[in-house]
Structure formats: structure tokens, C-alpha cells
Amino acid sequence: MVKNILNKNVVEFFAGIGLMRAGLEKANWDVVFANDIDPVKKRLYVNNFVDAKSHFSLEDIHKLSPTLIPDVALATASFPCTDLSLAGRREGLSGKHSSAFWGFIDILRGMGERKPPLVLLENVAGFLTSNDGNDFKDALLALNEVGYAVDAFIINAANFVPQSRVRLFVVGKRVNQGSERFKIRHYFPATELRPDKIVKFIFNHPDINWDINHTLPSLPILSSSLKDIVQNIDEQSDTWWSEERRNYFLSQTFDRHLEKLMELKSAIGYTYFTAFRRLRNGKSMAEIRFDGIAGCLRTPKGGSARQILVRVGKGEIKVRLLNPTECARLMGADDFKISGTANEALFGFGDAVCVPVISWIAQNYLEPALINIANTKERKPSEIIGDYAKPA
């Protein structure tokens, strides 16, 4: 397939500000080529990875020549979720932004026998249901068509960092042309990684060439909370909201939320919460999370997209917006060098992957899969143990 398959080299598409790279590097993978269309994201990326100047291609993926892509073990694609998410118009893979996925498929097809043994896709969980599941089906069949058997699973970043960030991942494993397809033999139970909606999708789509990894370990249990990522901001800083602005925010909270805050106000220590503004029955309301984790970071395209930090205790309630440093920590990117404007950084983090999630996937899925591919000249269904059988 690919020469030097055990060299853990990576090409990343839709590279963003580099958090996919950060996660892979922590698992000892090496990014040797990166591509994105956004010059601001490239600037933030290059500021953190100085060698990227020589291999970051600022180009529309549809215009990128496959001949420019080096031989590697892994290709990653965190393609735009705009048309797949519930927050978007749900135009799917035919939408203006998310249709960039087809550029990635064209790259793989154009690489021919040079295409990598592994691919990793990342997107919002809404990808699974976009256009009644047809977008996800079409994407997986496209990967099949260019030579990859596929697996799918969901991970919430809240297993690693105090942020609820549910993402859908697809691993594609290259199979030999003409090799027999795997067939799922019996129903397997839902798990944390493959909840019922994924299991049902797998069994409802036998036309897709699946290769499900049932050996993945359990996800870790979160060992931190919001208080661990909060930056120490001077009490007199104007980043804290004025009393008038704070009171207006409190007037927008649900009664039961306000009651909870008032109960905690007299505590001897601080407790931290996050909130988003949402429209409820045509009225702007502030919804506060009380589970010790932040809501999913978003790109700051509007006022409601900025996440609010609430500090309660020692006789007071103080409110401000989460800042870029705190957002970096919520993405597991504590050592990220923040540059540019705050809005640029917030946009980059809201559009990125969670670093420790990627490291976990690299260590527990990608590396064992790469070793298996390197040690197997030809995949034979009759030799596979588990939920697969040779097709009749």
C-alpha cells in the first residue's frame, strides 16, 4: 500500500488553528502537510507550529492537486459542519460549506495507490441525521468507493475536559481492491462510544462496507471541573460586567436557576457556572448549566454564541464572558499560543477539535489499526473474529 507504513506521518485537511495536529503530536504522530482555506486560521496555526510555513497550503481543497500530497499513514478531515449542524440550515453535504467533503474524496481518489492506509473524519453529531441520514450514508459509501472500510463512533469531550462537546468520528481503513466485504453477523449492544442511534444506523445500512472495532477501551472519567480552567482575573477588571449588566442578565434567567444562584451566594468559596442566551418563546433567556462543565464552545458569529461565566460565592455574583485562554483550556490546548484578536481566537477554538480526544483516538484506535494493516498483507473475512462473517 504505502511505503514505510509505520512512519506515523499525517496530512490534515481543514486544519483550522492546529488542534488536530496538537492532539496527534501528543500521541507521537507527525503532521507533514496541512491545508485550510482561511488565512486567519493559517496565521494562528503557523504561530504555534513554526515548521508549518513550509507545508501549510492555503487553498480551496477543490483546487488542491493530489500530486502535492505526500505519502503518509493517515489523512484527517475536520470538514465544515455549518450545513450539518442543528444550528445551520441543514443543507447537508450539498451545502456551500460542508460540500468541501467531496474535495477530500477527490484528493483520495486522485492519490490512487498512494492514498494513506487510514483516514479520520470529525464532525458534529448532526452529521449522522442530516437529510434523514442520507448525507452520512453518502459520505461512507464514497469512502468505500475510494477503497476504505469504515467505522463510526461518538465521543463527548466531557470525558476529558469540562466541556460538553459531542462529536462524531469516522475511521476509514484501506482494503485491497476486490477483497471480500465484511458482513455483520449479529446485533451488538449499544455502548458509550456507539450509542443506539449509531448501532441502528450500522445495521440499517448493510450496503456500507463496515469494519467495526470492538476492542476500544472505556473512555476516561472526567477529573476536572470549570474551576480548574478559570483564569484569575483582577476583581476591578472591566471584563467583569457592571452591576447593571449583571442584574439584567440575572433578570433573564429562569426562576429555578436564579433561586439556585441565590442559595450559593452566601457560600464561603466560589462556584463557577456557564450560561448561554437562547430564544425561548420569542424571549431571550439565560440558561445556566449546573453540572460543573461548560456548554459546547461555538464560533462567535452572534451575541448568543458567546458563553458566559458566572461566579457565585462570598456574598456576591459576578458575571463575564469566557476569554480565549479559558476556551483554550476547555479544548485541552492549555499551551496554545493565543495571537490575533480575541474574536479570531474564539472563532478558531469554536471550530476546532478537542486535543485529548484526538490523542485518545490516536493511541487507542489509529496506532493499533496501523500496526494491524502493516502486519496483514491481505484482509481475509474468514480470519476475523467477532461480529463479522464471510458474505454468503
Question: How confident is the prediction along the chain (392 residues), in pLDDT tens digits per residue?
Answer: 444 455 899 999 999 999 999 999 999 999 999 999 999 999 999 999 989 989 999 999 999 999 999 999 999 999 875 544 444 454 555 544 457 889 999 999 999 999 999 999 999 999 999 889 999 999 999 999 999 999 999 999 999 999 999 999 999 999 976 666 666 656 789 999 999 999 999 999 999 999 999 999 999 999 999 999 999 999 999 999 999 999 999 999 999 999 999 999 999 999 999 999 887 877 889 999 999 999 999 987 655 578 999 999 999 999 999 999 999 999 999 999 998 899 999 999 999 999 999 999 999 999 999 998 888 754 443 333 333 333 32
If you ran DSSP here, which 8-state letter would residue 322 be given? P
Return the ∠ at Cα 126 (arms to 13 and 42), rounded to 5°. Answer: 25
Measured between alpha carbons, how far is 104 from 36 in angstroms, rounded to an integer?
A: 12
Burial 352-385 (b: 16+ CB within 10 A, else e): bbbbbbbbbbbebbbbebbeebeeeeebeeeeee
On whether the CB atoms of residues 59 and 392 are closer than 8 A, the answer is no
- The verdict on residue 345 lying in a domain is no
Measured between alpha carbons, how far is 90 from 74 in angstroms, rounded to an integer?
A: 29
Is there a single domain that holds both residue 373 and residue 312?
A: no
Q: In terms of residue numbers, what domain contains 263?
A: 232-322
Is there a single domain that holds both residue 156 and residue 269?
A: no
- The verdict on residue 334 lying in a domain is no
Is there a single domain that holds both residue 208 and residue 294?
A: no
Is there a single domain that holds both residue 314 and residue 242?
A: yes
- The verdict on residue 336 lying in a domain is no
If you ran DSSP here, which 8-state letter would residue 294 be given? B
What nine digits make up the cell of 18?
492546529
Q: Could you tell me the strand order of the sheet in which 9-13 lies?
A: 56-58, 30-36, 9-13, 74-77, 118-124, 166-174, 148-156
Q: How many domains does the chain have?
A: 2
On whether the CB atoms of residues 227 and 267 are closer than 8 A, the answer is no
Is there a single domain that holds both residue 27 and residue 162?
A: yes
At 237 the three-state DSSP class reads coil
Does the reported pTM lie above 0.85?
yes
On whether the CB atoms of residues 218 and 226 are closer than 8 A, the answer is no
